Amino acid sequence: MKNAILLILFIGLFSNIGISQTLLDTKKIPANIIKKFNKKHKDVTEVKWYLYEHNYMVKCLDRGLINEIVYSTVGKELFSKTEVEIGSLNSKIADDLRANHKDKKIIAAYLYVNGPRDKYYSVILHKSQGRKKAPLEYEAQYTFTGAYLTLYEPEIKMEKEKESKADKYEEEMDAEIDDFEDTVDDQKVKKKDLPSPITQYIKDNFEYEYRYKDIWIKNNEKYGDFYFIVLKKQGEKKKFKLFFDTFGKFLNQEIEEL
What's the pTM value of the predicted model, to 2 decimals? 0.56
The length of the chain, given as a count of residues: 258
3-state secondary structure of 247: coil
The per-residue pLDDT for range 18-77, each reduced to its tens digit, is 455 788 899 999 999 999 999 999 889 999 999 988 899 999 999 889 999 999 999 999
Please tell me the distance from the alpha carbon of residue 153 to that of residue 157, in angstroms, as a whole number: 13
Pair 136, 193 in one domain? no
Q: For position 257, what pLDDT does the model report?
A: 87
Domain count along the chain: 2
Of the pLDDT bands very low, low, confident and very high (cuts 50, 70, 90), residue 235 is: confident
> Which SS3 state, helix, strand or coil, does residue 33 take?
helix
CATH number for position 53:
3.10.450.360
Co-location of 177 and 99 in the same domain: no
Q: Which residues contact 67 (CB under 8 A, 6 or more apart)?
A: 41, 44, 59, 60, 61, 80, 81, 82, 83
Has residue 189 got a pLDDT over 90?
no
* Whether residue 161 has pLDDT greater than 50: no
Which one of 152, 180, 203 terminates a domain? 152
Q: Provide the pLDDT for residue 7.
A: 39
- pLDDT score of 138 more than 80: yes
pLDDT of residue 97: 96
- Which run of H or E residues covers position 155? none
139 and 171 share one domain? no
State the residue range of the domain holding 54: 2-152
> Is residue 95 scored above 50 in pLDDT?
yes
Q: Which residues of 218-231 are buried (b: 16+ CB within 10 A; e: fewer)?
A: beeeebeebbbbbb
Nearest to 201, CA basis, from 258, 252, 255: 252
The backbone region for 126, taken as left when phi is positive above 0, alpha when psi lies in -120 to 50, beta otherwise, is beta
Question: What is the 3-class SS of 103-154, one letter each residue?
Answer: CCEEEEEEEEECCCCCEEEEEEEEECCCCCCCCEEEEEEEECCCCEEEEECC
Q: Tell me: pLDDT of 217 over 70.
A: yes
| 133 & 171 share domain | no
Q: What is the pLDDT of residues 2-21, one digit of tens each?
A: 344 333 333 434 444 345 57
112 and 29 belong to one structural domain: yes
User: Can you give the pLDDT at residue 92?
Assistant: 96
Least confident of 9-23, 29-43, 211-225, 234-248: 9-23
Mean pLDDT, residues 117-122: 92
Give the lowest-confidence range in 42-56, 116-130, 154-168: 154-168
Cα(125)–Cα(244) distance, integer angstroms = 32
pLDDT reported for residue 198: 93
Same domain, 102 and 221: no
Same domain, yes or no: 169 and 219: yes
Residue 115 and residue 182 in one domain: no
* 127 and 197 housed in the same domain: no
**What phi and psi values does residue 137 have, to the nearest 5 degrees?**
-110, 130
